[in-house]
Chain A
Amino acid sequence: MKSESGNVRRLKLARLFLANHLTYFLARLALGPLGRRLRSYQKVAVRGILSELHAAFSGEKPVILASAFVPTELIYGLGAIPVLPEVWSGFAAAAGFSAPAVTASEGSGYSQDLCSFHRCSLGLENLELLPKPAAVIVSSHLCDGGRCSLYRHSRSFGCPFYVLDVPYAATPDGVAWLAHQLERVAQDLVLKVPGLSLAGLPKALAAANRARSEYLAVCRLRRNQPAPWAGSEALNYVAVFLSGWGSPWLPEFYAQLRTHLEETIRLGAFPVSDERHRLLWLNLRPYYSSSIFRYLEKECNTSIAFEEYSHLYWPPHRPDAWAESLAAKLLSHFGWGPIERRLETIWNLVQEYGIDGVVQFNQWGCRQSNGGGRFLADFLRERGVPFLELAGDGVDGRSSGTAQQLTRIAAFVELLDARNTPSPARGTKAIPR
């Protein structure tokens, strides 16, 4: 935990760095010699994110703020930079800025009952750590708090605000209704925001399709036992999974990741030695602390083999029908619609990734998906898969007890140890080697 004066100094520095061209120049330069410590896929991500930050803070390209499940292909395709405030809250937590940001938003009148991801992003705005957006787009599904929180951003910055009203049912009528809205939003943005055009949309969707193919190969490799990629790192890259689709660098990122995983399997250099158990992680992670993941991976030889939020759920795009494709993506989310849809998805993941136990991180911050916990517990219990609901906050470290979380995790691993037999899911599907 940083002191107040330390926080003020670090925030001033962060503002200074983000707004300065020299920062990006030096950072790119440093990626050469210092980059040797980074893996190839990590370098691609760092380069991509740096160039977007530069473009966003220098005003080189318009910025569009979007809620977490708005398809970013739309924003890249229009020629803008997507900034997802929820994702930025995760970055802020990892960088140690979430506590001052959350405190700042609470100080400006937001209740502690509001989602901590949104409290954090509103605080980042107060602290001038968000780039000035040209527009804000939210989707009405999967997140209750986002609509009003992001509307606040649009009011503060005086920019247009759009809501994509996602119907509950994924019917052809639903796709048409949503596609129509996407077209209207895109056309309005082109009229109101200088520098945007519809011309880049097919290209963005084609890039997303290329990334998709590479990503599916990554997923196949992640079925390997032992797990070739540490789940603690994979959970960090959920940020890229949420915000990178449609970017020109995402296909290369996943291609490099695929090569890295192939190499890891070939060399047998697995991140978790003597893998004892394989977990499926549901929902997000606490971004301000890595203690539980270090404990799982290093002390308990337990891998997070896959994460719910890393699951690719949409069909390939048709670049010639961008609006319908993006509507289909929005409607394909397994968390939208009846709970059975999510349960079926989780069961498929349990089988595909040879999972021994499932951990749901019950995010106090927004409580998104916590409501389904009871269904999930019953569903998995009936199938003989141990399930742990781990309560905590994703970004607000002030209200989470790591010691308590560690006890629960340790007990869960002991529960898996006590069974000493693979779960029914293990070995039911051939695992590609």
Chain B
Amino acid sequence: MLVAGIDSGSTATKVVLLANGQVGATYTAATGADPQRAATRCLEAALAQAGAPADAVKAVVATGYGRERVSQADRTLTEITCHARGAHALVPEARTVIDIGGQDSKVIRLDDAGLLLDFVMNDKCAAGTGRFLEVMANRLELDLDSFGEEWLGAKEAAKVSSTCTVFAESEVIGLIAAGIPRPAIIRGLCEAVAARVASMARRVGLVPTVVFTGGVSLNAGVRRSLEKLIGQEIVVPPLSQFMGAYGAALFAQDLAREKAEAAGVSR
């Protein structure tokens, strides 16, 4: 049985195909201005990867900001519920999920059964999100992937006091002009994001095990800063970047089973 989860995020669209409960394919591409087109492109690419035709997909669940624009979806769910489901499936001992995506960051608390207990999201602005890091990487003429390595190379963190993306960018310009080494600036930026997210996490209670998901989970600099701040090891599971889509695919699997059962009953 083939099912799909589509996470139509603000920055990237992610697709996970599950074939009989196993990950059959994953694909991601920029969402751009048209979430529907991006979702279709990603789904087609994932199907091509899995070597399956489109009509083999028995159920599709969409999540993320563009979820209502995904016409293939049989059902839509918020990314909060999907990240929780995905994280609990991969890390059953997960009790806190920190998800930092392109446009927002959220902290989700789970109970022992993996059910949502509470959640909190960033307010108003891009502070503490992937977009913040993207803008800074651009200003520093650096690839986001190299943040981890640069972070390790820093003897200390430069002070970046503002978490407003626009003001922080001005601060970074000032730090560059003052000759502060780039690794120190990067470490300062990672700490600024981590501080923002850690304070959110404390609002819902930081219960171990803490799992880190979303595109920023791949950023080793932010992960290390977060671990330092919360004083706990953070688990970055496989598929962390695809966690919303993976959770959505698990819900799609339930839906496909329900459909099959209903069809069996009606027969």
Our count of residue pairs bridging A and B at CB distance below 8 angstroms stands at 40
1/0 per position for B45-84, CB-CB distance to A under 8 A? 0000000000000000000010000000000011111000
**Interface presence of B118 (CB below 8 A):** yes
**Interface presence of B34 (CB below 8 A):** no
Minimal beta-carbon separation of A286 from chain B (angstroms):
14
Contact pick for B65, options A389, A403, A408, A414, CB 8 Å: A403
Contact pick for A415, options B79, B119, B120, B124, CB 8 Å: B119
**Interface presence of B239 (CB below 8 A):** no
**Interface presence of B115 (CB below 8 A):** yes
Minimal beta-carbon separation of B214 from chain A (angstroms):
15
Minimal beta-carbon separation of A96 from chain B (angstroms):
23
1/0 per position for A363-392, CB-CB distance to B under 8 A? 000000000001001000100001101010
1/0 per position for A396-418, CB-CB distance to B under 8 A? 00010101100110110011001
Q: Does the CB pair A414–B116 fall under 8 Å?
A: yes
**Interface presence of B175 (CB below 8 A):** no
Minimal beta-carbon separation of A400 from chain B (angstroms):
9
Q: How far is the CA of A419 from the CA of B118 in the complex (A)?
A: 12
Contact pick for A418, options B115, B121, B124, CB 8 Å: B115
Contact pick for B80, options A377, A389, A399, A411, CB 8 Å: A411
Which residues of the other chain, A, contact B65 by a CB distance below 8 angstroms? Answer: 403, 407
Contact pick for A414, options B80, B118, B121, B123, CB 8 Å: B80
Q: Does the CB pair B78–A391 fall under 8 Å?
A: no
Q: Does the CB pair A391–B124 fall under 8 Å?
A: yes
Q: How far is the CA of A389 from the CA of B78 in the complex (A)?
A: 17
Minimal beta-carbon separation of A380 from chain B (angstroms):
10
Which residues of the other chain, B, contact A374 by a CB distance below 8 angstroms? Answer: 203
Interface size class of B (residues with CB under 8 A): 10 to 19
Minimal beta-carbon separation of B144 from chain A (angstroms):
24
Which residues of the other chain, A, contact B119 by a CB distance below 8 angstroms? Answer: 411, 415
Minimal beta-carbon separation of A272 from chain B (angstroms):
20
Q: Does the CB pair A408–B116 fall under 8 Å?
A: no
* A420 nearest in chain B by CB position: B115
Which residues of the other chain, B, contact A419 by a CB distance below 8 angstroms? Answer: 115
Which residues of the other chain, B, contact A377 by a CB distance below 8 angstroms? Answer: 203
Q: Does the CB pair B81–A418 fall under 8 Å?
A: yes
Q: A391-B123, A391-B124, A407-B121 are in contact. Are A414 and B81 (CB under 8 A)?
A: yes
* B76 nearest in chain A by CB position: A410
Which residues of the other chain, B, contact A410 by a CB distance below 8 angstroms? Answer: 78
Q: Does the CB pair A404–B121 fall under 8 Å?
A: yes
1/0 per position for B111-150, CB-CB distance to A under 8 A? 0000111111101100000000000000000000000000
Q: Does the CB pair B80–A386 fall under 8 Å?
A: no
Q: Does the CB pair B121–A415 fall under 8 Å?
A: no
Minimal beta-carbon separation of A255 from chain B (angstroms):
42
14 A-B pairs with CB atoms under 8 Å apart are: A374-B203, A387-B118, A389-B120, A401-B124, A404-B121, A407-B121, A411-B78, A411-B119, A414-B77, A415-B80, A415-B116, A415-B118, A415-B119, A418-B115
- What 13 additional pairs, Cβ within 8 angstroms, besides A374-B203, A411-B116? A377-B203, A381-B118, A386-B118, A399-B124, A401-B124, A404-B104, A407-B80, A410-B78, A411-B81, A411-B119, A414-B80, A415-B80, A415-B81
The 3 closest A-B CB pairs, nearest first, are A411-B80, A411-B78, A415-B116
